[in-house]
Amino acid sequence: MPRRNWAGNVRYAAREFHRPDTIDDLRRLVAGSTRLRAVGSGHSFNRLGDTDGDLVSLAGLPPTIEVDRERGQVTVAGAMRYGDVGQHLHTQGYALANLASLPHISVAGAVATATHGSGQTHGNLATAVAALEIVTADGDLLHVDRDDDTFAGIVVGLGALGVVTRLTLDVVPTFDLRQYVRLDLAPEALDEALGSAYSVSVFTDWRTPRLREVWRKQSTDQSPPEADWLGTTAADEPRHPVLGMPTENCTPQLGVPGPWHERLPHFKLGFTPSSGDELQSEYHVPRTSVAEVLAALAEVAHLIAPVLQVCELRTVAADELWLSPNYRRDSLAVHFTWVDDADAVLPVLAEVEERLAPFAPRPHWGKVFVTDPRALAARYPRYADFEALLADLDPKGKFRTDLLDHYFPR
């Protein structure tokens, strides 16, 4: 098993690494452990997934996918990658409504941290969950669905409530998309651009006031953007979000039609999206504050740019999941891919958080952030309810980590 996370900035402190190949073996392992965490694709950039006890990968469990055509749902093993699930669903005539930029991430891990794609009418990946199966602290197998009172608290569970083994997701009929990249967007046009297609991502490096690229993933029955769309120009060759990185790693652009699972992600499943020499942070702020947020960040652009690889702006629809950054708030997600230098990045991150503070930013749980615990708790109306759920399902703190203790003290 890997001893570091995907980016290499976290060396796991676990004393033992496990890869059970049956649910029963997993249940015995959980029941017999005093400290345990599950690890998926290792794409968290902080120590949320770290432990000084047992670290367990579910990659050895059977990679099951079961489509229920009558209910319009699919049940998948938690360790499966979204890219693999997408390929299978497409062959069956189905799709997920949304995908993240990386198809390499595991379903259970992405759901647990409310990881998301883009689209102002689309919720994050956790909103597709209709039911899940979880191994609790005593080794029991718990099934919860939308009829359970605590369901909305368990779905985005941060790995703190147990080990999620299977998830049931809502599906829709499969569909095709075209991806167009537009260049040089004026900041005042950002709000309109974000709502212009099925999924939209805007990239900037904060070195100039204008926004470098707009990636529009639009339905095949939507007309291509006009030549002078919002004052931009069309890219005449494939692009990578990070300048200088190989474009063959990216999903097809230039308006070439293709299935949803090969267009919604920015990167192809068969390629490593980047070297991993990076840190990432992300903050979710009200969708209605786009112009004000841009202006606030522009005040510290001179600090951001020297330690930044790229910044991505996306939208995510509101939901009812207790610890989702999009809880009851349509959101603008401001994502930073930093250079791999924590000493240089963290002081800038503190400045970014200070500028965003008036907008009550909610950080992505799996990224790097320095938010004060009391400030963070105040931004989630159901924070105390989640704390109670923690005490109920894991009274001895088997699944806790230092980061969880920092933000949910016992």
Name the phi and psi angles at 87, rounded to 5: -60, -45
pTM, 2 dp = 0.96
Q: Where does the pLDDT of residue 2 fall: very low under 50, low under 70, confident under 90, or very high at 90 and above?
A: low
Summarize pLDDT for 297-354 with one digit per residue, the tens: 999 999 999 999 999 999 999 999 999 999 999 999 999 999 999 999 999 999 999 9
Name the phi and psi angles at 106, rounded to 5: -80, 150
- How many helical (H) and strand (E) elements, i.e. helices and strands, does the chain have? 11, 19
Summarize pLDDT for 44-71 with one digit per residue, the tens: 888 898 899 999 999 999 999 999 999 9
Q: Where does the pLDDT of residue 9 fall: very low under 50, low under 70, confident under 90, or very high at 90 and above?
A: confident
Q: Where does the pLDDT of residue 275 fall: very low under 50, low under 70, confident under 90, or very high at 90 and above?
A: low
Residue 244's alpha-carbon distances to 26, 264, 274, 286, in angstroms, are: 43, 22, 11, 32
For residues 401 and 237, give the distance between their C-alpha atoms in angstroms, rounded to a whole number: 45
Summarize pLDDT for 33-46 with one digit per residue, the tens: 999 999 988 888 88
Domain annotation for the chain: domains and CATH numbers: 65-173 (3.30.465.10), 176-262+276-373 (3.30.70.2520)
- Which pair of tokens denotes residue 179? 């991806």
- Does residue 1 have a pLDDT over 90? no
Give the DSSP per-residue string, 194-247.
HTSSSEEEEEE-SSSSSEEEEEEEEETTSPPPPTTGGG-EE-SS---SSTTS-G
For residues 130 and 73, give the distance between their C-alpha atoms in angstroms, rounded to a whole number: 8
Q: Cα angle vertex 288, ends 240, 283, to 5°?
A: 50
Contact 133, 107 (CB under 8 A): no
